[in-house]
Structure 1
Amino acid sequence: MRRMLTGGLLLLALFSFGSRGDELAVIVIANRTVQQSSLPLETLRAIFAMRQRTLPHGQAVHVFVLPDDHPVHEEFSKKILGVYPHQLRLAWDRAVFSGTGQAPNEVENEAEMLESVASTPGSIGYIKQSSLNDQVRVLDIE
């Protein structure tokens, strides 16, 4: 009985480990004109909450996001920014409706995200690591 329990637990652990490899690996990308190679997490949060409109060296930043219900947006919001997608949407809506800010530029999919970030100087966005190409640069998070 003990061997079956141990074997079952080992099998469960292997399935759990295997499914972690299937999780979305989301990375932050930027236009090649962006001078930074990394950003502090708090700066990244402020940029995507639309509270900060420039990068640390003063360059204007253009933010691109995927739709609220897109799996990559959900993963980015929760795992990287540490907020739920609806919390970001509330912050954007509040800024827009109060006249104190604007919402980010929304794109439909990762291909459009890559194209938009690659063609817009000073832009920032996110994609799955497997979607990365050489048109954009990866920003590390400090």
Structure 2
Amino acid sequence: MMRRLANALCLAMLIGLSPWTMADEPSVLLVANPGVETHHLTRDTTRALFAMRQRTWPDGQAARIFVLPNRHPVHARFVKQRLSVYPHQLQLAWDRVVFSGTGQAPNRVLTQAEMLEQIASTPGALGYLEREYVDDRVQVITME
């Protein structure tokens, strides 16, 4: 039994699979328009941008936020994993700024392909995509 486990671990290490690195890698990436000068965001700043409480990037450029529908599985995964909130909590934040007249809701797109197109073509755009949708038309923003 122990020998089989040791062989499996050795094989995984040989082909480059590490259970520690695979678990640490986010399944949904934060992406921005390539013209955005900011390359790193904290979780708090990211949360403030997506909650529509912060309207500009740290360098002062206007931020344009794009999201998938609340029930989309990628939206739920992004919000839970990267923002540490639930989709309904984020929706409440959007409703609050809209109904109070202090802001607006983010721009909604229906698919990840549409998300990619909008972020690539909108100055100051910020959104999220699964890794397989990311290409050189957008930049990945790392979170600290």
TM-score calculated relative to the size of structure 1: 0.83
Listed one character per residue, the Cα deviations across residues 53-89 of structure 1 (whole Å, up to 9, x for unaligned) are: 0000000000000000001000001010000001100
Which residue is equivalent to 1:123?
A: 125
C-alpha displacement of 1:26: 0.2
Gaps of 5+ in 2: 2-18
Tell me how far 1:25 sits from its aligned partner. Answer: 0.7
> How many percent of aligned residue pairs carry the same amino acid?
56
**Alignment partner, residue 134 of structure 1:** 136
Moved over 2 A (4+): none
Aligned equivalents of 1:110, 1:90: Cα separation in 2: 23
1:105 to 104, 107, 127: 107
Q: CA RMSD in A?
A: 1.8
Matched AA of 1:25: S
Letter in 2 for 1:78: K
- Per-residue CA shift, 1:86-138, capped at 9, x if unaligned? 11001101110111111000000100000000000000000101111111000
Asked whether 1:29 is paired with 2:50, we answer: no
Contact 1:26 1:76 in 2 (8 A): yes
Q: Give yes or no for contact 1:24–1:75 (8 Å, CA) kept in 2.
A: no
* TM-score, scaled relative to structure 2: 0.82
Count the aligned residue pairs.
125
1:79 aligns with: 81
User: How far is 1:24 from its partner?
Assistant: 7.5
Residue 37 of structure 1: how far off its partner (Å): 1.1
Checking the alignment, whether the CA contact within 8 Å between 1:32 and 1:137 is kept in structure 2 is yes
Residue 128 of structure 2 aligns to a residue whose secondary structure is strand
In 2, distance between residues paired with 1:38 and 1:130? 21
In the alignment, structure 1 segments of 5+ residues that lack a partner are 4-16
Q: Is the 8 A contact 1:65 1:106 kept in 2?
A: yes
Q: Distance in 1 between matches of 2:103 and 2:123?
A: 20
Alignment-mate amino acid for residue 110 of structure 2: E
Q: SS of 1:77's equivalent?
A: helix
